[in-house]
Every structure is written in structure tokens, then in C-alpha cells.
Amino acid sequence: MIQMIYATCLNHFIGVNGGLPWGHVKSDMAWFQKHTTEKVVLMGRKTWESIGRKLPNRINVVISSKEIEGADLTVAGQPEDVIATIQSKYPGKDIMIVGGMQVYVQYVMLCDRIYSTLIQQEYEGDVMFSCRLLCQQAYKLIESSHLPESEDTPGILYEIYQKIIQ
């Protein structure tokens, strides 16, 4: 299964200076870990560099024309070819697209399922992305949960969408 996971805030920013606009939110990091562990995580080079390390308990695949030290696999090419390469090297493994923005835009229509996190505040940023409208048109909402705001956590809406248009 090809999946995507992304987090955005109310004004659609997903990044600022190579990091997350809202910083480290423990519950969001737990959501990300829960849904990416034991999967192939596919990311662009900038996302790989912003993470700064190999994500444990995942097969780390980086899209780049140059070999990436530390990655389990470096791939380049059209999205369909990249997916085919990963599926042939890791048969039966789910692929989770984890960013960044250019990768999301190129791969979103190949995804069977989308995991969306909406941080319910506005933040400053320099990279924007949202596929909520697309999700509402081409995907069916299959799960939704809300984490209310607390002293150390903004309100968060978690949603999972399943593709309905082929």
C-alpha cells in the first residue's frame, strides 16, 4: 500500500527553516512513529537532511540523483518508477511518503491512504502544503480523532483518508 503522512497548521505551513513551524509536539511525533514504523519511508533529500539521521525501525529511502550516505536506498526518476523500484526491492512492504512538499505534490495521487495532522493554530513558515480539499474529493474519511489543546500541546486533529477515485 502506498501511503502519505503529513502535518500542517491552520495557515497551511509545513516547514520553517528546515524544521516544523510548531516545533516538537510529543503527541504528533508519537502519531508519526506509530504510522511509519516497520514501513518504507520515502522522503526527499531536504527532508532527510532536516531529520538529520536514519529513522529507526523503518527502511529509509531518499529521492536524490546522488547517493545519500546512511540511507537504505537512494532512488531517482519519475514517481511511478521510484515506487516500482521500491516495491521490487522491498516486496510486500507498505510505502509511506513523509515529505517534503515537492515529494507530497508529486506522489499524492499515487497514495491509497493519507494520514493528515492539522495543528489547530497558525504559525509562521516558509513551506506550505495542504491536500485537505483533494482528500475531501478523491478520498473517504475513515478515521478522525481530536486531541484538545493543553498547557504544552496545541489542539490537534488527526484524520485518515482512503482513496475512492482510481
pLDDT tens-digit series, residues 60-114: 999 999 999 999 999 999 999 999 999 999 999 999 999 999 999 999 999 999 9
The pLDDT of residue 137 is: 79
Chain position carrying cell 527502511: 59
The predicted model gives 111-137 an average pLDDT of 89
- Cell numbers describing residue 39: 514501513
Helix (H), strand (E) at residue 4: strand 2-9
* Whether the predicted pLDDT of 48 surpasses 90: yes
Grouping H, G, I as helix, E, B as strand and the rest as coil, residue 22 is coil
The pLDDT of residue 165 is: 67
* Whether the predicted pLDDT of 160 surpasses 90: yes
> At the topology level of CATH, where does 2-163 sit?
Dihydrofolate Reductase, subunit A (3.40.430)
Enumerate the H helices of the chain as residue ranges: 26-36, 45-51, 79-89, 101-107, 132-138
Give the bridge partners for 163, in sequence order.
139
pLDDT-derived band at 13, boundaries 50, 70, 90: very high
The pLDDT of residue 110 is: 94
The pLDDT of residue 153 is: 80
The pLDDT of residue 132 is: 73
* Whether the predicted pLDDT of 135 surpasses 80: no
pTM: 0.92
The predicted model gives 6-12 an average pLDDT of 95
